[in-house]
């Protein structure tokens, strides 16, 4: 298999924008999303950027982006197309199912699409900033029975192999994967470009296929139930102490030492 024949599937998730102050719904079933600014998950942006760079280096011949969720996900797909992806796929999830859509369901969809499209590289963000699950990439690799390179900070294509530098506790680990493979992007992999306005205009012509999970034979029932979503406890004001002795006394008093 020639490297230039690589085809990449990139997952992009629409999440509440990182700059938004998230509010918990009064009934504690989740967070307020209505009328809140959404954008592409930053780690997914990094994954798209990496795929587009590989394409610019002629190591990848086609970049397909996919997003699972409500109608508005197409905006996220459009952003990826403006960044340089070739075409999009929108797996439309009804609002009811979307509430329970977790990494497992998304992994099943991604795996089914990877097979259907015959891609040999699945690029994902390491996690989404809304649920912080950090599972989709791993699960997708398992479902496909492909090797995985997670938390990637560098990816090099080397014939039929990928060399992935991974960010691990206290350092970097370099692994070699045999293609096809799943890679998830960490923060330092690259700095994603802006979707420029002229490119957004051009991306209008790019195609987005819309499908349902059932079209891919994927079942969306979830075995996970959210019991409660709550605000983190409010940080209380600190106290200033006069001396080291006072500090030690305070710490002892509060049971910290």
Partner 1 sequence: MSGIGLLLLRATRASLPAGARCLRTGRPCPAFAKELFMGKIETKDVFPFPEISNEELKEMNQFVGPVEKFFSEEVDSKKIDQDAKIPPETLNGLKNLGLFGMQIPEEYGGLGLSNTMYARLGEIISLDGSIGVTLAAHQAIGLKGILIAGTEEQKEKYLPKLASGEHIAAFCLTEPGSGSDSASIQSRAILSEDGKNFILNGSKIWISNGGIADVFTVFARTEVVDEDGDVKDKITAFIVERAFGGITHGKPEDKLGIRGSNTCEVHFENTQVPIENVVGEVGGGFKVAMNILNSGRFSMGSACAGMIKKLIEMTAEYACTRKQFNKKLSDFELIQEKFALLAQKAYVMESMAYLTAGMMDRPGVPDCSIEAAMVKVFSSEGAWTCVSEALQILGGLGYMKDYPYERYLRDCRILLIFEGTNEILRMYIALTGMQYAGKILTDKIKAIKRGHAGLALEMFWSRFRDSLGRKVDLGLVGKDGVVHSSLQESGKKLEENIYYFGFNVEGLLRRFGKTIVDEQLILKRVADILINLYAMTAVISRASRSISIGLRNHDHEVMLANLFCTEAYFKNNYAITELDKYAPENMDESIKRVAKQVLEKRAYVCSHPLERTF
Q: In the complex, which residues of this chain contact partner 1 (CB under 8 A)?
A: 19, 34-35, 39, 75, 78-79, 82, 194-198, 200-201, 204
Kindly tell me the burial class for residue 111, based on how many C-beta atoms sit within 10 Å of its own C-beta (0-12, 13-18, 19 or more): buried
Give me the numbers of helices (H) and strands (E) for the chain, helices first please. Answer: 7, 11
CB of 160 to partner 1, least distance (A): 36
Contacts of 92 (CB under 8 A, 6+ apart): 69, 70, 71, 73, 210, 211, 212
- For residue 85, which of 152, 144, 11, 157 has the smallest C-alpha distance? 11
CB of 200 to partner 1, least distance (A): 5
- Nearer to partner 1 by C-beta: 39 or 136? 39
Question: What does the alpha-carbon distance between residue 124 and residue 48 come to, in Å, rounded to a whole number?
Answer: 8
- Nearer to partner 1 by C-beta: 172 or 201? 201
DSSP class of residue 179 equals S
CB of 156 to partner 1, least distance (A): 27
- Nearer to partner 1 by C-beta: 33 or 163? 33
CB of 35 to partner 1, least distance (A): 5
- Nearer to partner 1 by C-beta: 168 or 201? 201
């Amino acid at each position: 298999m020639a490297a230039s024949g690589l085809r990449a599937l990139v997952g992009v998730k629409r999440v509440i924008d990182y700059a938004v102050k998230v509010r918990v719904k009064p009934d504690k079933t989740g967070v307020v999303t209505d009328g809140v600014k959404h954008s592409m998950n930053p780690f997914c942006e990094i994954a798209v950027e990496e795929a587009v760079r590989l394409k610019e280096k002629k190591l990848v011949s086609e970049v397909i982006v996919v997003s699972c969720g409500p109608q508005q996900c197409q905006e996220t797909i459009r952003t990826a197309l403006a960044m340089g992806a070739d075409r999009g796929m929108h797996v439309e999830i009804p609002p009811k199912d979307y509430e329970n859509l977790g990494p497992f369901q998304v992994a099943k969809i991604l795996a089914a699409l990877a097979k259907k499209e015959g891609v040999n590289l699945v690029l994902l963000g390491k996690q989404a900033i809304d649920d912080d699950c950090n599972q989709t990439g791993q699960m997708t690799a398992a479902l496909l029975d492909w090797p995985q390179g997670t938390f990637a900070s560098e990816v090099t294509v080397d014939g039929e192999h990928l060399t992935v530098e991974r960010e691990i506790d206290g350092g970097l680990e370099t692994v070699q994967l045999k293609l096809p493979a799943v890679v998830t992007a960490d923060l330092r992999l690259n700095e994603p470009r802006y979707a420029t306005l002229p490119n957004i205009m051009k991306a209008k012509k790019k195609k987005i296929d819309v499908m349902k999970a059932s079209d891919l034979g994927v079942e969306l029932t979830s075995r996970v139930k959210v019991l409660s979503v709550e605000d983190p406890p409010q940080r209380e004001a600190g106290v200033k102490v006069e001396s080291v002795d006072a500090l030690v006394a305070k710490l002892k008093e509060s049971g910290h030492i």
